[in-house]
Amino acid sequence: MVLPAPESLLRLAMVVITVGGITLPQDDGPTLEPLGPEGHVIIVIVDGLRPDVISVENSPTLQRLVDEGAATLEAQTVRPSITLPAITSMLTGLRPQDHGILWNDYRPHLDVVSATTVFDIVHRAGLKTAFFSGKVKLRHAAPLDALDAVSVRFLPDVSIVTLARSALAELRPNLMVVHLPNMDRAGHEFGWGSDEQMRTLRATDIALASLIDAIESDPLLGPTRVILTADHGGTGTNHDRGLRGDRTVPWILWGDGVKSVELEPLSVTATAATALKALGLKPLGTMAPGLPR
């Protein structure tokens, strides 16, 4: 069952990408029309997903999204390349030094991000929002009063996807952010690219397939786009040493009206504006540019 956003909880937070000053070629960039008032955008953040592990063998669903969507496997996350600042950047379109969330743990004495998030803009427009995350610290990333359904607590990927599928069927949110934590947990425990993490990837991909199936099999669901990315990659058992493997992530736009094209490298901060444009809403001038340009 989808959890309503209760008034008594602390404001909560929450999967995608920034442009980083790189210009998309005019002839190759997607020319995307807004989805309209019945449209849906789902931001999926696979925590710690390094793009070089995506393959038909280990992650057929992820590979399908890469093949069918507008995608780059050379997107860049923010500095520091850690979960809470990075996901807050995806939701605000701002760099960490601009949105002010520089820590990476849950601190009950601190409030949520003060910068405007995509949840705020979508909710003010009279549309529905939902946020599901498997890490408590993401309570700092989004305001509770801008969420119609929310669960931010220690849960595995399959439970998060179950909540997301329920929300799609019952609430039909126009914007939903889904954060899947298992890849990061396996990376810290066993190492990025380890056999154990690859087993986790296969399980995460199966959970993702269930979410995609829920989108494609619902005849009553309006036009939908998915933005899939990661907050960081990882090398060894860490992801904040400034290494290429730490900062390089996938960024994929897939769904209604999106054609298969290889994008130029982007930054995860572009996620916010891309999601808003898809819903026909105007991004703030302070946000990193999104797609389409």
Domains of the chain: 40-278 (3.40.720.10)
How many CB atoms lie under 10 A from the CB of residue 262?
11
| Torsion, CA 219, CA 168, CA 39, CA 173, rounded to 10 | 150
d(CA 77, CA 268): 5
Residue 270: the pLDDT is 99
Angstrom distances, CA of residue 116 to CA of 63, 130, 286: 33, 16, 10
Output the pLDDT for position 276.
98
- What's the average pLDDT block by block, 10 residues per block, for the chain (293 residues)? 41 35 45 91 99 98 99 98 98 98 95 97 98 98 96 98 98 99 98 98 99 97 98 97 96 98 98 98 98 90
Neighbours of 197 (CB within 10 A): 25
DSSP class of residue 238 equals B
DSSP 145: G
